[in-house]
Amino acid sequence: MNRVKYRISWFIVVQEITSSNTVVRTFFLLNQRVNDLVDISQLKGFRFEFSLSVEIMKLDFSGLESSAPLYGGSNELLSDGFSAAPSFDLPVTSDFDGFQKNSIQMVKPAKGTTTLAFIFKEGVMVAADSRASMGGYISSQSVKKIIEINPYMLGTMAGGAADCQFWHRNLGIKCRLHELANKRRISVTGASKLLANILYSYRGMGLSVGTMIAGWDEKGPGLYYVDSEGGRLKGTKFSVGSGSPYAYGVLDSGYKYDLTVDEAAELARRAIYHATFRDGASGGVASVYHVGPNGWTKLSGDDVGELHYSYYPVEPAIVEQEMTEAVVA
């Protein structure tokens, strides 16, 4: 009886057929080939012992995933071990790429706003404007863009209002659950990570969130920037929104770590005011909050229209020539 040891390497072959933006993948499953060989060999009366070294080419398909589903409904080969993508009918259009891009652009709300936050000696200063705009139309001048997650943590809103409001409230719930489960407050690091992970899992689905999580925990003041692309950054100074370049200009030139609370509040207010002056999509009321060791407090909410005239009062024009009635002699 021959005992033959075979070293067989099987590759999983992937075939990609691309035809008009659809991708079909065919896998040759390992098991079937091996079973075939075994069946045939038994018929012939030999005993084979294989040791298989399977080199599987790990191909990373995450880049190919698009928000549009795979063409066609079910495919038995693919459903084994792969989660079925949610599917709907593809639109009948001559330019599918352009259609998809345009429809995403249509739903994507522009981040027309100015929010900023910075860490300084006395804690975190958070400020925002209060305008909501839809294209060119101002839909509201009194939107609350600083969201109170819990008494010692604040979140700012930029992007889709519904998205920000919902997910911040959801984050507040998760933070409270953490407190109850662990008998201690959640850290700013932990809270921002919770939010970032949620937003990452919805990546590509059209959420628009550009938020800053500011708080005071056991390690002191904390500030994180989290966005709907899944990014999460720790930092000491951030500004988010269409008015952020203007706010950064003022913030960067006036920032010092050793500011007092009043000086920092004035810096934040000034930065928001300058952003509302230059940016068409920012305006309304400049609200300033301070997060200290005992939690947050709202410092001021000044109407930006009035702030302008307090910073730059109108001087009466110098009258050079004045017409008066001629005196009749």
Partner 1 sequence: MSIFEYNGSALVAMVGKNCFAIASDRRLGVQLQTIATDFQRIFKIHDKLFVGLSGLGSDAQTLYQRLVFRHKLYQLREERDMKPETFASLVSAMLYEKRFGPYFVQPVIAGLGEDDKPFICTMDSIGAKELAKDFVVAGTASESLYGACESMFKPDMDHEELFETISQALVSSIDRDCLSGWGGHVYIVTPTEVTERILKGRMD
- The CB-side HSE value for 251 (13 A sphere, CA atoms) comes to 28
Query: What distance in Å separates the CA atoms of residue 243 and residue 307, rounded to the nearest whole number?
Result: 17
- Choose which of 159, 215, 222, 284 interacts with partner 1 (CB under 8 A): 284
Q: Which listed residue (91, 98, 135, 235) binds partner 1 by CB under 8 A?
A: 135
Taking CB under 8 A as the criterion, the residue among 145, 282, 289, 299 binding partner 1 is: 282
* C-beta of residue 251 within 8 angstroms of C-beta of residue 92: no
Q: Rank residues 72 and 305 by Cβ distance to partner 1 and give the closer one.
A: 305
Q: In this structure, are residues 218 and 231 in contact, taking their beta carbons and an 8 Å threshold?
A: no
* Residue 199 burial by Cβ neighbours in a 10 Å radius (0-12, 13-18, 19+): buried
Q: Which of 106, 309, 324, 326 binds partner 1 (CB under 8 A)?
A: 309
Burial of 209-248, coded b for 16+ CB within 10 Å and e otherwise, reads bbbbbbbbbeeebbbbbbbbeeebeeeeebbbbbbbebbb
In the complex, what is the shortest distance from the CB of residue 310 to partner 1, in angstroms, rounded to a whole number?
A: 12
Contact 197, 173 (CB under 8 A): no
Alpha-carbon distance of 225 to 236, in angstroms, equals 10
**131 near partner 1, rule: CB under 8 A:** yes
Q: How many residues bind partner 1 (CB under 8 A)?
A: 24
Cα gap 123→187, rounded to integer Å: 15
Span of 58-66, 98-106, 174-182, 270-278 interacting with partner 1 by CB under 8 A:
270-278
Choose which of 211, 259, 279, 290 interacts with partner 1 (CB under 8 A): 279
- 237: nearest Cα among 258, 217, 251, 216: 251
Contacting residue, 136, 201, 253, 324, with partner 1 by CB under 8 A = 136
Q: Which of 314, 319, 326, 328 binds partner 1 (CB under 8 A)?
A: 314
Cα(98)–Cα(44) distance, rounded to whole angstroms? Answer: 59
Fill in the per-residue mask, 83 to 112: x = in contact with partner 1 (CB under 8 A), - = not in contact: -----------------------------x
- Rounded to the nearest whole angstrom, what is the least distance from the CB of residue 305 to partner 1 in the complex? 4
- Between β-strands 210-217 and 153-156, what pairing exists: parallel, antiparallel or unpaired? antiparallel
Which range touches partner 1 (CB under 8 A), out of 5-13, 32-40, 77-85, 275-283? 275-283
**If binding is defined by CB under 8 A, does position 287 make contact with partner 1?**
no
276 is catalytic: no
Nearer to partner 1, 114 or 228 (CB): 114
Which of 250, 217, 224, 255 shows the shortest CA–CA distance to 238?
224
Choose between 314 and 327: whose C-beta lies nearer to partner 1.
314
Say if residue 76 is exposed, middle or buried (CB neighbours under 10 Å; 0-12, 13-18, 19+): exposed
Catalytic-role residue among 22, 113, 189, 276: 113
- Kindly list the catalytic residues: 113
Given the rule CB under 8 A, which residues bind partner 1? 112, 129, 131, 133, 135-138, 141, 242, 276-284, 304-305, 308-309, 314
